[in-house]
Amino acid sequence: MPTHQAPRAVSLRFAGALIVVALLAGGGAAFAATRLSRHAHGSTDSSTGTSATIAQQAGATTTKATGSTASTSGSQSTSTTRPPVLSVTSISPPAQAVSVSPTRPITVTLSAPIAASSPRPTIAPAAPGTWQIHGNVVSFVPSEPLLPLSEITLRVPGGAAGVRSTDGGTLSRTVTEHFRIVDASILRLQQLLSLLDYSPLSWTPRGAAVAPGNAAAQLAALYSPPVGHFSWLNRGWPRQLRALWRRGVDNVFTRGLIMSFEADHGLTPNGNLGPSLWNALLVALQANTVNTGGYNFALANKTVPETLTVWHDGKVVIKSPANTGIAQSPTADGTFTVYSRLRSQVMKGTNPNGSPYADLVQYIAYFNGNDAVHYMPRAGYGIPQSLGCVELPYSDAAAVWPYLAYGTLVMVVN
């Protein structure tokens, strides 16, 4: 009589793909087989081999593998591979860089080659140019110089709709950096203000002028001014004004010209340089929007009898008796620009003896802190009586006020 032995487990290791065989009861020749698939984890087909345990049971055989189960149903498991994460390794110009060349390419280097169909980074404000991909580097090459002092924002988009590598990798988040373009030439600034008739000096180029409508050439000229010469438009300007002019120097003379232009073109008249100013200058030049108000200059002389003299286009238009500051609150010497204008105002403050004052004054042009040229009722004029302002009789103040526009130079001497 045959002897029956108890079933026992057998452990096997396979070097290749595993074929699972199910033997039908009765020892027949029919069988079913299924091939185990590869998995990202618990792989049944790898260089390390495959472990399986076969439990021998009466009438059937089943096979189990680590991380997967195969049966006689013939079904095959599927797998997914997550693409590698993309990262930005460097950006040029570096973050927060200043005085960046207006023609310098902007480059972004990533950790893997970029797909040709990938979305590109962006810059703001927008500028003419092209984005180019070379392996794992994407770069922007401007087709014309960027505006002086522009604050450039570089944005490298992340996420599913962002920059994509050739193997499908994406940035986990958007990367944003900022840098600033170098300032343009003060000499070119003076040239433009002369061409737009804001200066008492004319400017004539040597050779052909840069075409106003050629944007690229005009932008390039901001950084590399053409050669030419300046000359005074009128002979009647006083020596004090002529002494202030400095070719290519950003001084109070030049700041006054800037403020005059800003006031006429909807900009804050503060004399500050910035991309809005440079852009407005080029727009005005292209449209031939020139100044029609001429150039003015005011000189307050503290020598008794004190006076205020105003020039317009090289000619004296008014000379008025004036009062400047008393010894306890003198009017400071120096050259200043008109920065605020009011038709009337109640000026309030404290007298040197501590008593308060609140005086209604008219035709006001502030030029140095709280000091202003204005009408103030007095018994007489020509001696120090104010707390720092330049006081005028009513009719003279009314006549002077239109000439004391934003940016007009007020010089105080003696």
**Residue 162 structural domain:** 88-180
From CA 79, how far away is CA 162, in angstroms rounded? 26
Query: Is 303 in the same domain as 317?
Result: yes
Burial 227-236, CB ≥16 within 10 A → b, else e: eeebeebeee
Q: Domain check: are 126 and 170 in the same one?
A: yes
Residue 174 has pLDDT above 90, yes or no: yes
Q: Is residue 2 part of a domain?
A: no
Residues 243 and 305 in one domain: no
Would you say the pTM of this structure is higher than 0.85? no
Residue 3 resides in a domain: no
What does the block give as tokens for 89?
């390794």
pLDDT in tens, 340-388: 999 999 999 999 999 999 999 999 999 999 999 999 999 999 999 999 9
What is the Rg, in whole angstroms, of the alpha carbon atoms belonging to the chain?
A: 41
Question: Domain ends where: 241, 270, 287?
Answer: 287
Q: How big, in percent rounded to 5, are the helix, strand and coil portions of the chain?
A: 15, 35, 50
One domain, residues 346 and 255: no
Q: Are strands 371-375 and 390-392 parallel, antiparallel or unpaired?
A: parallel
In a domain, 1, yes or no: no
- Res 25: pLDDT: 40
* Per-residue CA distances from 257 to 76, 190, 291, 338 (Å): 81, 8, 11, 11
**Region 21-49: what's the mean pLDDT?**
38
Range 246-252 contact pairs with CB under 8 angstroms and sequence separation of 24 or more:
247/187, 247/190, 248/185, 248/186, 248/187, 248/190, 249/186, 250/186, 250/189, 252/335, 252/336, 252/337, 252/409
**Looking at residue 82, what is its pLDDT?**
72
Instruction: Write the pLDDT tens digit of every residue in 200-241.
Output: 999 999 999 999 999 999 999 999 999 999 999 999 999 999
What average pLDDT does the structure give for the chain?
86
Residue 170 and residue 93 in one domain: yes
Task: Identify whether residues 303 and 361 lie together within a single domain.
Answer: yes
Tell me the pairing of strands 296-301 and 409-413. Answer: parallel
Predicted local distance difference test score (pLDDT) of residue 49: 38
Q: What was the pLDDT predicted at 368?
A: 98
Where a domain ends, among 222, 257, 287? 287
**Measuring CA to CA, which residue among 330, 331, 332, 306 is closest to residue 319?**
306
Q: Report helix, strand or coil for 109.
A: strand
Q: Is the pLDDT of residue 80 over 70?
A: no
Asked whether residue 145 is domain-assigned, the answer is yes
Q: What is the CATH number of the domain that holds 168?
A: 2.60.40.3710
In this prediction, residue 46 has a pLDDT band, given cuts at 50, 70 and 90, of very low
171, pLDDT greater than 60: yes
Q: What is the pLDDT of residues 317-334, one digit of tens each?
A: 999 999 999 999 999 999
Please give the structure tokens belonging to residue 187. 């000499």
Mark whether 138 and 239 lie in a shared domain. no
Q: Is 70 exceeded by the pLDDT of residue 30?
A: no
Using a pLDDT cut of 90, give the percent of the chain over it. Answer: 79
Whole-number Å distance between alpha carbons of 45 and 13: 11
Tell me: do 304 and 406 sit in the same domain. yes
**259 & 366 share domain:** no
Domain boundary at 180, 208, 237, which?
180
Q: What is the mean pLDDT of residues 14-38?
A: 41
In a domain, 202, yes or no: yes
Are both 55 and 124 inside the same structural domain? no
Q: From CA 79, how far away is CA 40, in angstroms rounded?
A: 7
CA distances from 166 to 59, 85, 135 (A): 53, 12, 9
In a domain, 80, yes or no: no
Whether residue 355 is found in the same domain as residue 331: yes
Q: Is 235 a domain residue?
A: yes
Tens digits of per-residue pLDDT, 251-307? 999 999 999 999 999 999 999 999 999 999 999 999 999 999 999 999 999 999 999
Do residue 355 and residue 304 come from a single domain?
A: yes
pLDDT of residue 83: 72
- Report which of 373, 150, 332, 336 is spatially closest to residue 251, judged by C-alpha positions: 336
For residue 334, being part of any structural domain is answered with yes
Q: Which pLDDT does position 13 carry in this prediction? A: 53
Q: Give the SS3 label for residue 18.
A: coil
The count of structural domains within the chain is 4
pLDDT of 311 strictly over 60:
yes
